[in-house]
A and B are shown apart, each in its own frame.
Chain A
Amino acid sequence: MIPGSTASACAAVLQRDLTLAWRRRGDIAMPVLYALIVTTLFPFAVGPEPALLARIAGGVVFVTVLLAVLLSLDQLFRADIEDGSMEQLMLAPQPLALLVGMKVLAHWITSALPLIVVAPLLASMLRLPAAAMPALLLALAIATPLLSLLGAVLVALTAGSRRSGMLLALMLLPLCVPVVIFAAGAVAAAQEGLPWLAPIAWLGAGLVMAVVLAPLASAAALRIAMES
């Protein structure tokens, strides 16, 4: 790879963010532990009847994963803005949108992927039937990058403000409604033995759109944030 080429720039950003996450690997475990604890609370709160738990399992896992991703999103650009790395990314010869896309990918790998790995455990704690497990995993695999990309736009928009954590949640959660409906819908359909690919296809369409548009929007928002 030629230094300074687009491929090497993407690799450099991706490798940098993954290395940074690995140096602080305790932080990777946080969202996973959070999701585990929240899921454990549900049987205590609603009662341990297997039929009831199985009915809510899909929805609970999605909302828990959504909140766990949200917790880590806030940090997506903050450290880079504070230590001046964002300026270096902006002045680089490559399009900022591409580099932001790499940052989102690294964030998804370090925060959402571990959640997908533990999702079968969470779902079986809530007695989700094994037949619905493929639908759950596929829905998560498509819904979480969609959430990361939507979140990146909003994090970039709120990057200028000091206390952006709650603001971010208030802005992102309404946008997640369709994602949760389609994802949980696919799992519910699979539980009842109905075809469940249609809602997944809708999620996929959303993801394709987000992959194209979200990095551009994030980059534009970051440029505005850096002007203040």
Chain B
Amino acid sequence: MSSLPSPSILLEARALGFSRQDERVFGPVDFDLRAGDIALVEGDNGSGKTTLMRVLTGMLRAGEGDVLFAGQPFSLTTMGGAIVFLGHHLGLKSDLTARENLDVSAGLYGVRDGTSPMEALRVVGLGGFEDEPVRRLSAGQKKRAALARLLLLPARVWLLDEPYANLDREGIALVNQLLDGHAARGGAALVTSHGAVSFAGGEPRRIRLHA
């Protein structure tokens, strides 16, 4: 592998590892995400999947190794908004409606061309629930409201931590459909899961973490 990254590589981890008080949480791992890639991070509970995600977002400082975004060292101050992260906490305000929550995200991150909060909510199956306070939605519907944010925001890299949790079979199909659409638009996504996952578009790239 040459040391110069090809321009289509969006996100790259080089010998990335993280330790908490001298105890290794994960790594070192090497991988790259190119435009159109969907990669699955596999690992048992406690193998460091969420920590890897938080390191990649820039919220946690990597103990060792580098994260490169489009060939440049990644930093939140210069590249904020390039990555959209969906974690265990969905980042929804329960007193606001689904649409108001999306409006806040749109104000912060901007909007992908040709989409709107209403359109995004319709696609994730929350049509008719736009003006319902999030606290009155079910756990699966909340997840869908958070997924709508992925559709709305212009970021090319999605980091999804356990996106399948709390979703019914239709919801799982929806996540796969969103991922396929994102890959087709030239985006990339990293998805964690502790269970078996079958993507619509065949076998995904796998990144394995060991406890």
Contact = CB atoms under 8 A, between A and B. Distances in A.
Interface in A8-30: 8-9, 11-13, 15-16, 19-20, 23-24
B59 A90 contact: yes
Interface string B134-161: 0000000000000000000010000000
Contacts of B132: none
Interface string B88-121: 1111111110001001111111110000000000
B89 A83 contact: yes
Contacts of A11: 107
A172 to B, nearest CB: 26
Given A20-B95, A20-B96, A92-B80, A87 B104 contact: no
A33 B31 CA distance: 58
For B59, B60, B96, the residue with the greatest tally of chain A CB atoms inside 10 Å of its CB is: B59
A94 B78 CA distance: 9
Contacts of B105: 88
A20 B59 contact: no
Contact of B81 (A15, A87, A91): A91
Interface in B60-98: 60-61, 76-77, 80-85, 87-96
Contacts, number: 99
B89 A91 contact: no
A3 B107 contact: yes
Q: Which 9 interchain pairs have the tightest Cβ spacing? A: A4-B110, A12-B107, A84-B89, A93-B81, A84-B91, A92-B108, A93-B80, A88-B91, A23-B95
B89 A93 contact: no
B96 A9 contact: no
A227 interface: yes
B90 A91 contact: no
27 contacts: A3-B106, A12-B104, A12-B107, A12-B108, A13-B108, A15-B104, A16-B100, A16-B104, A20-B96, A23-B95, A82-B89, A83-B89, A83-B92, A83-B93, A84-B87, A85-B92, A85-B93, A87-B85, A87-B91, A88-B85, A88-B91, A89-B108, A91-B57, A92-B108, A92-B109, A93-B81, A95-B77
Interface of A: 2-5, 8-9, 11-13, 15-16, 19-20, 23-24, 82-85, 87-95, 99, 223, 226-227
B76 A90 contact: yes
Q: How many B residues are at the interface, by size bracket?
A: 20 to 34
Contact of B59 (A16, A24, A91): A91
Contacts of A91: 57-59, 76, 80-81, 83-85
A16 B80 contact: no
Contacts of A4: 81, 106-111, 154
Contact of A3 (B96, B100, B110): B110
